[in-house]
Chain A
Amino acid sequence: MNRRIFNSLRWAFPMLIVGGVILIFPDIFSVKDKDSFYVEEVKPIINKKCISCHGGVKQSAGFSMMNRASFFKKNESGKPAIDISNPSQSELLARINHADPMERMPSEGKPLSSREIKIFEKWVDLGAPWGEHWAYKALSPVKIPSNTSWMGIFGGNKEKENAVDAFIQQKLNENNLKLNPAADKETLLRRVSLDLIGVPAPKDIADKYLKSTSPDAYKMLVDDLLKLPQFGEKWASVWLDIARFADSKGYEKDGNRQIWRYRDWVIQALNKDMPYNQFITEQIAGDLLPNPKDEHFIATAFHRNTPTNDEGGTDDEEFRTAAVIDRVNTTFEGLMSTTFACTQCHGHPYEDIKHEEYFQFLAFFNNTRDEDTVEEFPVIRHYEKTDSLQLLDLVAWVKKTATPKRADEIYSFLKFLQPLVYATHADLFVNSELYDTKYLVFRKKSSARIKDVVLNGEVRFIAQQRGNSKKGKLTIRLDSLRGKVLGQFNIPSTEGKWAFTPFEIQPVYGKHDLYFSYENASLTSDTESGFTLNSFHLDHAFPGNEGDPSKKTMDSLYWTLLRKNPPNTPIMMDNKAENVRKTQVFIRGNWKVKGEVVSPGIPKVLSNSFNLTKPNRMGMAEWMTDKRNPLVSRTLVNRLWEQLFGTGIVETLEDFGSQGTLPSHPELLDYLSWQFMNKHRWSIKSSLKEIVLSQTYRQSSVVTTEKLKKDPNNRLLSRAPRIRLSAEQVRDQALHVAGLLSNKMYGPSVMPYQPEGIWASPYDGNKWKLSEGEDKYRRSIYTYYKRSSPYPSQLTFDGTGRNVCNARRIRTNTPLQALVTLNDPVFMEAATHFGQKMLENPGLSVNDRIQHGYHILLNKPISPTLLQPLVKLYKDSKAYYKSHSELVNEIQLENPDVEDAAFALVANAMLNLDVIITKN
């Protein structure tokens, strides 16, 4: 702080100094310190009124307000906008106050309001302090406020004290508000169960808690819930929105994608409470870990959830690039609450992030082997158990017989089909074609080229090919159609199926263009295709000494394993050193117009002096999980908070930048983030536990008129929020109370009931085929997610499209949602079974039956005022169904009677009650 200005302030403004830090300007605004004055008062005006002409995109008159240096630089007028030695004479103040509208700033639109002008004047007087934006400051330990009334609320019970409450109570005190009393036990049970495991608690855990008189009962309940495997399913739902996980590839064709093993990985990782730093490291760079295991590769499918475009005629490079860009944007928006996407085309309009910095970050992702191919290469192949054991035998044998390097090469090809040269790189077609822009098709007399193939003296050309003719001959030459012959071979028929076929080639070294020419006299017309090449692998001779009997066995095992077609999962894998992809700036975001070459790097404003040592995804992960990273832990705890309280401490989960909202409780956010990294060692479960044990979380959600007035949006948390259940929870709860919900975990996606005519998948013949048995009733997280046509009821309840990272679901309340829970056959079926539950105990009165049902739903007695309309519905419907047996017969039960029909209807109504659709 500039001492001279500080002193001059003392008489310039009435001011209070509290604790040496907090300055209060009672005339128009109260601010904590000079830096926050900039962040909270000045920067919003700049963003709104100035920056579109004087920012990262445009710098009219050579003046930019993007950062301190650009602000104080001499602009085209030859002067800086603010003269620090003579602040009151600053050009900035003159221009915003100018009487001549031609001279006045902003040059378009209304002049600044008198309040805005006063803010600028004050700011200039303060010496134009340039506060760092809150979200980009590195975290440091936060002092827990100690205020007496906070201590008081626990009646001196130390055990119950919780730092979260201290921060919340401090703000409430400032506003003369208090926390609500604790919610009743039953309400809290349902609330914390829905929040931690996504469904009501299992009966034994619920009963144990409700019967317990221990002061620790609630804490034990939380511990019990955190141990349940359903925990991972609930929180994976949250993560999969960020990961834009879907079972289809997206875009126009939107074919099937096998990537469900990634979902299993997420559920398992969350269940074992994998530290969050490891959780994101494995997803971003699992393949780059030392000795990566299968699950590390599967974790990297996180960034293979990008859509791929199989439509014929599309440019693979365009969509490869789109995927890489999406990875950058997802990493920033989902994991670091930063809108980075706008920096694709130009400097960030609002934050101090440069255009080049986008591409430096993109360079981390730009060297991966995926190229928008239809097979989704590279993949990890999941051999069946015996096959995978045989693979290990084979690799061990190679290691012993030849070298560890050879063993690695053979393992890599069998396990990942890498390295592989994709035929999509072909050009110079003569009577050949890149059919559907996917496969290289050769005809009667044809040729094509594949450029820049690195040869290392390999002697085998293993082609992934198919064809019907036995008579074709392929010749591969180096660097021209008349160049040195690398190999010449007869192509066998594969009877139209894709097959790996080995051919002998001459050992050659260096980077060469390969010219392929194909001749086949047996083809009758020029347009008939003879042989189709999809990709090829170059390999050395199979190891082992001639005459060694094990060589023959192992060689044959190699081919058996290669030709197996086990299921696979797309993964991340980098190009080898000789094929590293160069990254260039896309000028104005146009991927076809490339500018300067850049290497991997981190935006300066976010680096907090972190020193990048590995210029790859692992280095990036190290930066993200470094404690100096200002955003990763803030983003995560804010997301946990949002899941529990309905609104984040920062409401804009997708944007912590200066265009996002400010945190409602900045110290609490920083406290939780610091705790998360340090005390909880990145444990999501521990952080959740700390929050749900707070009185803030446990208070009742009843709102008084006073609170509604003082805290209309509940940003101060003067009460627990009431939140409509998520798409997944609404369905899972209905299945659960009906006794239908399957607790089967993991595996491929399932297809529960869906109306006809929702799906259109004209290309791959993929159909919505109703799953059998319990698979119809799995938790919603396992429902097949087709990008172009997501499961309708999930979408109606604000499920996301899963095309791009979605950092926040906006909750809505619409008649369409009512129609789902009233009429969707899935909900009617659940209601029918739930009705049967109410009927299962013989001899009960109607009131008792409904009471029983309500107890299943909420674990508590129904109030007479809620019971009355339901009993009436029962009576009216029973009378009605007596004379409408045709309706009764439609009930999906064996020999349904009037009682079944009436209870199905009552159950259907109960599943639609506000208290049931809402977390109370």
Chain B
Amino acid sequence: MNNKRLSLAEEAHLLDAQLATRRLFLKQCSMGLGALAFSPLINACTSDANGSSNTLFDPTKPLLPKTPHLPGKAKSVIYLHMAGAPSQLELFDYKPELKKLDGQLCPESLLKGKKFAFIRGVPKMLGTIGEFKQRGQSGAWVSHYMPHLAGVADELSFLKAVHTDQFNHAPAQLLMQTGSARLGRPSLGSWVTYGLGSENANLPGFVVLTSGGQNPDAGKSVWGSGFLPSVYQGVHCRSHGEPVLYLDNPANVDGNMRKASIDAINQANKETYKEFNDPETLSRISQYEMAFRMQISAPDVMNISDEPAYIHEMYGTEPGKESFANNVLLARKLVEKGVRFVQLFDWGWDVHGNSTDTSLEIGLVNKCKQIDKAITALILDLKQRGLLEETLIVWGSEFGRTPMHRILSCRW
């Protein structure tokens, strides 16, 4: 090999050529490396061991956009997870009868026909405090907790049939995000990025932003890639300071030298791959390329201070502060740039009413204030940019609440 320094694009082509023969083998062997990584799953789900020959995972371009089997309307997802248990009964699920039953013993009609594990005695009913009105043309019920969102009710679909069999936050979050309450399964965002790739090669395909002062109880596993190649796990970006920690080069290294050193590292790692044949080495090569591209693109995307004043007014954002609103605005910027999946976690929604912060009267009101304006702005903003048509916004949590008084656990 000559000593001429290659551009990243040239580098990628070279890498492609070098790996072509190996890829051929990998394609022949079932479905390529990706398939190797998740073959246990495939074996568990289908009796057809051969599968298709369509390679989903190209180890050298893991985030290349892919065409789904069926055309989909949405190009990107913004998933807003309220960690805890926002009460559906206070927000969107209007239960006038419940209000009448407040303080009374749980009627038999609620318990009858259902088998509860260890129900002893009869709990009291908890009527809603939320003042509900029908909104928009759809007539959807939205309570006073969400005055702004109520104004865009016609943009919302309500799914009131979500069910969990988990009883603790951490496993329930895992269940919501990975489909399993145990560690080790890929998260929704990593599945989507795995299946569809990402539109922007210079940013992670799956970005995670957190607010509310804490990360989700279940930790990083809720955006992990499980048994999928680890390149598909969510990248946790910071809400203040350097958007991504250690994004900046050390003072003695500039962009040119960083590029030169990453070229050298990846060149050497390709040799290592030849020696060991370890798929993780390929993954590492693409991670270093991604790291370099992130260094260039991320600071711009992750900076909301350049947004016009009316946008800040609309979202309720304050640049430099850690807030859900800032993250929502970032989410818009990220999907605009072609990031496939943006996951927001907002902590502090465990409103089971045993203390001020978790009370329906104060805690829930405060939490709703923090999100109501921003989510509404996101919908309107995406709409005015023509992006709402192709962006799926999901709002949810790992739990709702039971209609009983001061009963802490057991959601069903």
Show the binding face of A for B, using Cβ within 8 Å.
Answer: 52, 56-60, 113, 115, 252, 313-315, 318, 339, 341-342, 344-347, 349, 355, 585, 587-593, 595, 651-652, 654-655, 659-660, 701-705, 708-709, 712-713, 722, 724, 755-757, 788, 792-793, 795-796, 798, 800-801, 803-804, 808, 810-820, 822-825, 828, 832, 863, 865-866, 868-870, 872-873, 875-877, 880-881, 884, 887-888, 890-891, 901, 904-905, 908-909, 912-915, 917-918, 920
Contact = CB atoms under 8 A, between A and B. Distances in A.
Given A708-B277, A810-B224, A813-B230, A347 B214 contact: no
Interface string B195-233: 000000000100000000111010111001110011101
Q: Which of B182, B213, B290 has the most CB of A within 10 A?
A: B182
Contact of A813 (B168, B258, B284): B284
A113 B45 CA distance: 11
A589 B408 contact: yes
A756 B246 CA distance: 12
Given A345-B410, A815-B204, A912-B288, A315 B354 contact: yes
A918 B281 CA distance: 9
Contacts of A917: 284
A798 B183 CA distance: 13
Interface stretch (B113-121, B308-316, B393-401): B113-121
A104 B272 CA distance: 56
A234 B355 CA distance: 42
B305 interface: no
Contact of B118 (A52, A346, A811): A346
Given A341-B168, A905-B257, A722 B354 contact: no
B40 A713 contact: yes
A905 B253 contact: yes
Q: Which of B117, B167, B354 has the most CB of A within 10 A?
A: B117
B408 A355 contact: no
Given A757-B240, A891-B252, A908-B253, A813 B410 contact: no
A664 to B, nearest CB: 12
B139 interface: no
Given A344-B409, A708-B36, A887-B251, 15 more contacts: A59-B115, A341-B168, A587-B119, A591-B408, A796-B245, A819-B247, A822-B258, A822-B261, A824-B246, A869-B265, A869-B267, A880-B260, A914-B272, A914-B280, A918-B280
Nearest to A660: B182
23 contacts: A57-B165, A587-B120, A588-B409, A589-B167, A592-B408, A705-B25, A708-B36, A713-B36, A755-B242, A792-B246, A801-B219, A808-B183, A812-B224, A814-B231, A819-B244, A819-B247, A866-B272, A873-B261, A876-B5, A890-B251, A891-B252, A912-B265, A915-B272
A899 to B, nearest CB: 13
A815 B290 contact: yes
A705 B226 CA distance: 24
A824 B251 CA distance: 11
A795 B220 CA distance: 9
A813 B5 contact: no
A877 B291 CA distance: 20
Given A587-B121, A708-B29, A824-B246, A652 B115 contact: no
Contact of B235 (A346, A814, A913): A814
B231 A58 contact: no
B170 interface: yes
Contact of B264 (A655, A804, A870): A870
Given A704-B277, A822-B291, A866-B272, A588 B407 contact: yes
A641 B319 CA distance: 48
B8 to A, nearest CB: 14
A207 to B, nearest CB: 25
Contacts of B355: 313-315
B233 A590 contact: no
A807 to B, nearest CB: 8
A871 to B, nearest CB: 9
Contacts of A595: 118, 120
Interface of B: 1, 3, 5, 25, 29, 36-37, 39-40, 47, 115-121, 165, 167-168, 170-171, 182-184, 204, 213-215, 217, 219-221, 224-226, 229-231, 233, 235-236, 240-242, 244-254, 256-258, 260-265, 267-269, 271-278, 280-281, 283-285, 287-288, 290-291, 294-295, 354-356, 406-410
Nearest to A820: B246
A884 B165 contact: no
B261 A887 contact: no
A314 B170 CA distance: 21
B276 A815 contact: no
Given A812-B225, A815-B204, A822-B246, A913 B265 contact: yes
Contacts of B272: 866, 913-915
A635 B372 CA distance: 47
Nearest to A819: B246
Given A757-B241, A908-B261, A913-B265, A702 B276 contact: yes
Contacts of A904: 252
B285 to A, nearest CB: 8
Q: Which of A315, A347, A869 has the most CB of B within 10 A?
A: A869
B168 to A, nearest CB: 6
Given A588-B116, A819-B291, A813 B280 contact: yes
Contacts of B284: 813, 818, 914, 917
Nearest to B47: A115
Contacts of A708: 29, 36, 277
A58 B25 contact: no
Contact of A652 (B184, B288, B295): B184
Contacts of A347: 117-118
B235 A909 contact: no
A701 B121 contact: no
A815 B291 contact: yes
Contacts of A704: 277
Contacts of B117: 56-58, 345-347, 355, 588
Given A813-B230, A873-B261, A890 B165 contact: no
Which 6 residue pairs spanning A and B have beta carbons closest together? A346-B117, A890-B251, A869-B267, A813-B230, A818-B291, A873-B264
Q: Which of B115, B274, B294 has the most CB of A within 10 A?
A: B115
A828 B119 CA distance: 59
A147 B220 CA distance: 45
A887 B253 contact: yes
B230 A811 contact: yes
Nearest to A113: B47
B168 A888 contact: no
Nearest to A866: B268
A876 B253 contact: no
Nearest to B249: A823
A544 B121 CA distance: 58
A116 to B, nearest CB: 11
Contacts of A891: 252
Contacts of A815: 204, 235, 287-288, 290-291, 294
A920 B276 contact: yes
Contacts of B40: 713
B354 A318 contact: yes
A824 B407 CA distance: 47
A184 to B, nearest CB: 12
Given A588-B118, A708-B277, A811-B230, A828 B250 contact: yes
Nearest to A251: B214
Contacts of B257: 877, 880-881, 887, 905
Contacts of A909: 261, 264-265, 268
Given A342-B167, A818-B288, A880-B256, A812 B230 contact: yes
